[in-house]
Copies of this chain bind each other. A is one copy, B any other.
Amino acid sequence: MESVKIHKNFGEHLRTLRETAGLTLREVASTINVDSSLLAKVERNQRPPTRQLIKSLASFFNTNERELLIEFLSDQIAYKILDEEGDLDILKVAEEKVSYLKTLHNGNDNDKK
């Protein structure tokens, strides 16, 4: 039974983008004005991308910035949970909190208390 790798993390995703485009690290790095060593680390998930880097990359690869951002944030969250040895309950609670806080924001002026 072969298991398929469903989920790419940010770095892998990025590497795929680059390789699909047939470009080297240096090429990409230089046109978006970062050190190629940094980009290499990002591709190997040894360094997190900054917001600005995500923007630059999305624009360079002509891809959806939001999608890249989701890739990155979900990585961050997933790895945080693993390393805190937390479980999926945390996400459930977080989800409820997000939903709740969003309804508050939406002009729905309920008591904050």
Contacts and interface: CB of A to CB of B under 8 A. Distances in A.
Which of A84, A98, A99, A110 has the most chain B CB atoms closer than 10 A to its own CB?
A98
A113 to B, nearest CB: 7
A81 interface: yes
Counting chain A residues whose Cβ lies within 8 A of the other chain, the interface size class is 35 or more
Interface centre among A2, A110, A112 (most CB of B within 10 A): A110
Contacts of A76: 80
A80 to B, nearest CB: 7
- Protomer copies: 2
Interface of A, secondary structure class, is helix
Given A91-B91, A111-B3, A97 B74 contact: yes
A30 B63 CA distance: 53
